[in-house]
Amino acid sequence: MRYVLQRLFSTFADGWPGAGLLLQRLLVGGALIYCAISSHINALRFEIAVPEVLGSAAGTLIIAGLWTPVTGIIVSAAQGWIAFSRPNGALMPIVLAVLGLSLAMIGPGAWSIDARLFGRKQIPTDF
């Protein structure tokens, strides 16, 4: 299982690119949680709240950087569901769906739980 998940990531970006990915994860996750909270207050029906709750849970995993490729696809699917079910206010869900897909394709970066769990390990060679 570890090898299969490690193959999903080409590298874990470090330095400035890693910081950019961390900022992108924080922005996307925070926006997903904010949208879920604001929508949950106004939601009267269960079927309206389901994709928002799913997006909020995925946003929490995105912030942590856990299972990022799978979570990014879940974010994209949930936000696509929201965009197609409510075409009047579809701009924000479309933007979040695209950002979720980009995180799924790029990966979480070096400052994530995925990098700790599935990243390459340094083996010391000092004797």
Domain boundaries, the chain: 2-118
pLDDT for position 4: 54
pLDDT band for 100, please (50, 70, 90 cuts): very high
108/112 Cα distance (integer angstroms)? 6
DSSP 10-38: S----HHHHHHHHHHHHHHHHHHHHHHHH
Q: What is the pLDDT of residues 21-58, one digit of tens each?
A: 999 999 999 999 998 888 777 666 767 778 888 999 99
pTM listed for this prediction? 0.80
First-to-last alpha carbon distance for the chain, in angstroms, is 32
Q: Are 59 and 31 in contact (CB under 8 A)?
A: yes
pLDDT at 10 over 70: no
pLDDT at 119: 73
Q: Are 21 and 47 in contact (CB under 8 A)?
A: no
Task: Of 58, 85, 62, 61, give the one whose Cα is nearest residue 74.
Answer: 58
Q: Residue 18: is its pLDDT beyond 70?
A: yes
